[in-house]
Structure 1
Amino acid sequence: MRGIFTITDVCIFAVTVAICAYVYLWIQLKTFSRRGIVALPAYPVVGSLGPVIFRKISFSEQVGNLYKLLKGHRFGGLFEFLKPVLMLRDPELIKLITVKDFDHFVDRHKPITEECDDMFGKSVFGLEGARWRHMRATLSPAFTGSKMRRMFEWVNQCGRTLASFLSRRCYEHEAKTGKMLVVEMKDLWGRYANDVIATAGFGVQVDSLRDPDNEMLANVKTLSDFGGVQAFIFIGYLISHKLMKLLHVPLMPFKVKAFVRDLVEQAITMREREDVARPDVIHLLMRRRASDASASASAGVRPGPKGAAPPPPPPSYDRKPREEAPGLNNEDIAAQVMVFFLAGFETTSTLLSFMSNRLAVLPGIQERLRREVDATLQRHGGRVTYEAVHEMKYLDMVISETLRMYPPVEVLDRKCVRRYVIPASATDPEVVLEPGDAVWVPIYGLHHDPAHWPDPDAFDPERFSDENKANITPFTFLPFGSGPRNCIGLRFAIMEVKVAVMYLLAHFELRVVERTPIDLHLSTNTFNITVDGGFWLGIEPRRRPAPAPA
């Protein structure tokens, strides 16, 4: 008997394992067809995302393609790599799962837990069950109408700074070259968004327009980049979060997390020392932390150090109100700050980039919007006010149409936490979802469905006019999600976008230049919705007087 294996033995063993794995994966891919559910195209390992992984099309377009293949059905089955997912197509079914029967789908389908990434897993995006409910309830007061009004002046100051910065840049560039200023808009809007979220959201003063190399902006850009190496890490988590945990590969870069922790520690220390109170996210979280510490002391529980992580709750899918979440600490606060920087930066800069591109390419829409800006400012004495921002109906329409065509989030995901039955219909069988099963709501597909949006590839703000809004099928326009777990900061995001557009159009005209993408082709190099080559536009001061920034 031989004591060692030959190369032939090793090869035979490897081939056998590969064949067995391949057969297993093919059997796995029959999960939906065995249950009579329409199965979308999928392949071993890459599942239904093969064209995205091999950079043939963008993630957004693949979502749209999968959605189209389900025409005539309420749902169908796909594979997110190795994970079976039920894609919902019927608006009524989406309403049931995201709103009416939300208690069955409280959590997101996500592979990133606290054990995998200690910061992301503690964020309002990553938390589950009672801990998510408590955190959501804590953060919600930061985005009420009264808080928005109080935070408006900080946002408005960023808008004034933007107008002043561009005016000086246009003058200096024209004096030096005799030509119109050309700007990459995603970079410009990223700097603006970073300053807004830092100033209004967390009381941190930065000037990214004049200092594009500041540490905060560099870290936020790293945080929001889902291309390159970060894309492979993200894919790794989707394929096997257990393997990524075993390899100790964090979803978020260590450097970024260290920066956010230091930022939060400094802000909290300063506010406690100087007794500063601002109507922002950090203030609410500090109050919650103090309340939790007081409650623990009253109950005779000895509090741990400020930065210590709370004990994890026992695993359970029970979502009854009697559940209690563990006390808040500085690490929890840092997690919320991180996810707000991520969402506030990428969502806002993406929306403004696509919107400014369409305004330049479609000058008729730009001019109509400019007339509304001028008329609104005239009624308010030339000042951008909270009331003025909320009066602009056509601006609302243009924003909505941009979000329809280019939603920053292409898919809404949910995880079943309690057994749920989808009744049979004329086209689809009964489906029983068990705890842990995942569902997708294909936002990009819904937004480009000609059954709901005639001529969906045309940019037409009139879809959202007062006369036409009544014709929109409910739950087919979901740019910020749906139900209790929708985007918590949507009102803040829309406010900062409106302020930016009002200052921009009051003082400048957007022009198409040689590098301007006309027919937008979505990038295949990242999971973010964007275009290759950048959003280049010309910015020219208006030739007739405009209301001065006030």
Structure 2
Amino acid sequence: MWLVLLVLVITLVLICIKRQYSYWERNGIPGPKPIPIAGNFYRSFVGKISAGEIITEIYNKYEGYPFVGIYRATSPVLLVRDPDFVKNIFVRDFKHFHDNDIEIDKEVDPIFGRNPFVMKGAEWKSKRAQLTTLFTSGKIKGMYQFLLRSSNRMVQYIEDETKSSDEFEAREICVRFALDNVAACAFGLEGKSFDEPYSQFRELADNFISPDGIRNKIIGLLFVLCPSFFKKMKFKLVPKDVEDKLMEIVKSSLKYRRDNNIVRNDFLDAVSSLQKEDGLFTNVDIVANAASFFGDGYETSSRVMAFLVFELAANPDIQDKLRNEINTVLENNDNSLNYEVIHNMKYLDACLSESLRKNSIVHNLNKICTEDYTYTPTNPDFKNITVKIKAGESVVVPLTGLQMDPKYFDEPQKFKPERFLGPISYNRSTYLPFGDGQRVCLGQRFAQTQIKVGTANIIKNFRLKVSSKTKLPLQLDPYFIMRHAIGGLWVHFEKIQ
């Protein structure tokens, strides 16, 4: 009796699993065969390669198909290959895909849950409208003095340290630089990242969203591959001690400014002014947005800058060309590296754009279908098949796949900044380092500005060469949600006399 019941239960479970994993096949959508429980991401679960690299492999395998059906654990997800479809998702048919596919309960994680990137629907739209005013050119120009000061301090630190060793891990330098910027612009404090081996901001950074530690790796994996389970289990991306410390820093900074009538015209001033304009903007909202600035300002920017520094070290001819531009522009502007000058360096901009193309910090952008949607390609390069996406289903836009596709970028493995000089010759929907449309990254202007001033000051003062300590070819951490090179990006810094 019990044996019969057990067999019956197992049979029903197997039937359910088989039906779940036949979803795309039943709808006429091609795709790789999944493995029970892990879907198409078994190698990511066991730590072989990252989920993003798996998606890039699938993207490359299905040449000619406008989309591919895959399974994230047991959930069906549509991988989009057609740039026209990508354009529809971000711009033309935005109302069908206005939410990012990230599940965070802001009652559980009040800091990350109030990040505009994860907010949804009307709440996102309202918050986005408020925060857009904080990232104008005028606001960033007002903070530029802090960025320039940090970059000068970085150069001095490298000079001092090269007396004992000229090898540096690129991201370590970039993290310190970005942390000092964030400390000054978001909190009005001295970051002291180049003065103290473990400043309070470095401690926060190391515990914010870190690739280190078993707990963080497991949470990062669940966040990427099982977002609904991640939310259901009430996991937090931002640890409680980091949340409490950020709250303490923001509150004490605001109190000090009020008590001493101090106005710095920085991000904290700007975001706190929203509270006066909107009674619904709470202290937690101020902390959450300062934390968003903290995370985006140091975490993503330091990674982008580190890969740019590494690419310049690996390509000495391009490095020399950039150095010539920097020196020429400075000579024509009284040797002043001011806001206008840094944004007038065309080749620097091209180098940054090319590094963002080749080294996408996140492999994919995931969206949720918010209204039923049907798509049939019109581009003859793709097979004429139709997909119907139901509200609540997920779609994946493979940034690395698109940006490394030789159909859109000639010799994609090569670092060629010239492709970003002159008129745009590529399909805009195949190059999306900051997203696109109404949900394009709010802080992209600030990020680009701090990366440019930091990189320009490094190249002006040092000649770079890749160190033998760098493990080539680069291997990426399979568990971390962003591009993270195992073993680091080690570079020689030679002072230019």
- The normalised TM-score by structure 1 is 0.84
User: Partners of 1:335 and 1:130 in 2: how far apart?
Assistant: 18
* Separation in structure 2 between the aligned mates of residue 61 and residue 284 of structure 1, nearest angstrom: 39
C-alpha displacement of 1:447: 0.7
Cα distance in 2 for residues equivalent to 1:195 and 1:443: 30
115, 138, 143: which one pairs with 1:146? Answer: 138
Alpha-carbon spacing, 1:129–1:505, altered in 2? closer, same or farther (3 Å): same
- Determine the C-alpha separation between the residues in 2 that align with 1:252 and 1:13: 45
Give me the whole-angstrom Cα distance separating, in 2, the residues matched to 1:421 and 1:488.
29
Aligned partner of residue 430 in structure 2, secondary structure: coil
Cα 1:370–1:237 change in 2 (3 A) is: closer
- Please identify the structure whose Cα radius of gyration is greater: 1
1:366 matches 2:315 = no
Verify: 1:395 aligned to 2:348, yes or no: yes
Structure 2 counterparts to residues 69-84 of structure 1, below 5 A: 69-84=61-76
450, 457, 479: which is aligned to 1:496? 450
Aligned partner of 1:536 in structure 2 is: 490
For the residue of structure 2 that corresponds to 1:487, the secondary structure is coil
Q: 1:157 is matched with which residue: 129, 140, 149?
A: 149
Structure 1 position 98 matched with structure 2 position 90: yes
Report how far residue 241 of structure 1 moved: 5.5
Question: Hey, what does 2:216 align to over in structure 1?
Answer: 230
Deviation at 1:70, TM superposition (A): 2.6
Structure 1 residues 337, 428: closer, same or farther in 2, change over 3 A? Answer: farther
Q: Does 1:67 align with 2:20?
A: no
Counterpart of 2:487, as a letter, is G
Q: CA RMSD in A?
A: 2.2
Aligned residue pairs, count: 493
Whether the 8 Å CA contact 2:308–2:352 is kept in 1: the answer is: yes
Can you give the 5+ residue segments of structure 1 that lack an aligned partner in the other structure?
A: 1-7, 174-179, 294-326, 544-550
Deviations 1:433-452 (A, max 9, x none): 33212111110100110100
Residue of structure 1 equivalent to 2:252: 266
The answer as to whether partners of 1:411 and 1:442 remain within 8 angstroms in 2 is yes
Which of 58, 68, 87 matches 2:79?
87
Taking structure 1 as reference, are residues 12 and 280 closer, same or farther at Cα in structure 2, changes over 3 Å only? farther
Does the 8 Å contact 2:154/2:194 carry over to 1? yes
Shift of the 375–238 alpha-carbon distance from structure 1 to 2, 3 Å rule, reads closer
Structure-2 separation of matches of 1:221 and 1:18:
45
The yes-or-no answer on 1:204 pairing with 2:189 is: yes
Matched, 1:347 2:300: yes
On the 8 A contact 1:116/1:244 being kept in 2, the answer is no
Asked if structure 1 preserves the Cα contact closer than 8 Å seen for 2:220 and 2:480, the reply is no
Is this contact kept in 2: 1:114–1:120, CA < 8 A? yes
Q: Supply the distance in 2 between the matched residues of 1:270 and 1:38 (Cα, whole angstroms).
A: 60
Q: Is the CA contact (8 Å cut-off) linking 2:152 and 2:457 kept in structure 1?
A: yes
- Secondary structure at the counterpart of residue 520 of structure 1: coil
Please point out which of 397, 411, 418 is paired with 1:462.
418
Q: Where do 1:214-293 residues align within 5 Å?
A: 214-227=199-212, 228-237=214-223, 244=230, 247-293=233-279
Q: 1:239 to 1:391 in 2, by over 3 A?
A: closer
Question: What's the % identity of the aligned pairs?
Answer: 28
Shift of 1:195: 0.9
Equivalent-residue separation in structure 2 for 1:15 and 1:189 (angstroms): 58
Whole-Å Cα distance in 2 between the matches of residues 226 and 259 of structure 1? 20
Q: Is the 8 A contact 2:103 2:118 kept in 1?
A: no
Structure 1 residue 17, shift from structure 2 partner:
4.7
Q: Is the 8 A contact 1:115 1:245 kept in 2?
A: no
Give the Å deviation of 1:347.
1.4
Deviation, 1:278, is: 3.4
Identify if the C-alpha distance between structure 1 residues 100 and 347 changes in structure 2 by more than 3 Å, giving closer, same or farther: same
Find runs of 4+ consecutive structure 1 residues off by over 6 angstroms: 11-15
- Residue 499 to residue 49, structure 1, CA distance change in 2 (3 Å): same
Whether 1:524 and 2:482 are equivalent positions in the alignment is no
How many angstroms does 1:525 deviate by?
4.7
State the match for 1:111 in structure 2. Answer: 103
Query: Which segment drifts farther, 116-125 or 396-405?
Result: 116-125
1:259-298: CA deviation from partner (whole Å, max 9, x where unpaired): 11112211222232233333333223322212222xxxxx
Quote the Cα distance in structure 2 between the aligned partners of 1:219 and 1:129. 31
For structure 1, which segment, 204-213 or 27-36, has the greater mean C-alpha deviation from structure 2 after superposition? 204-213
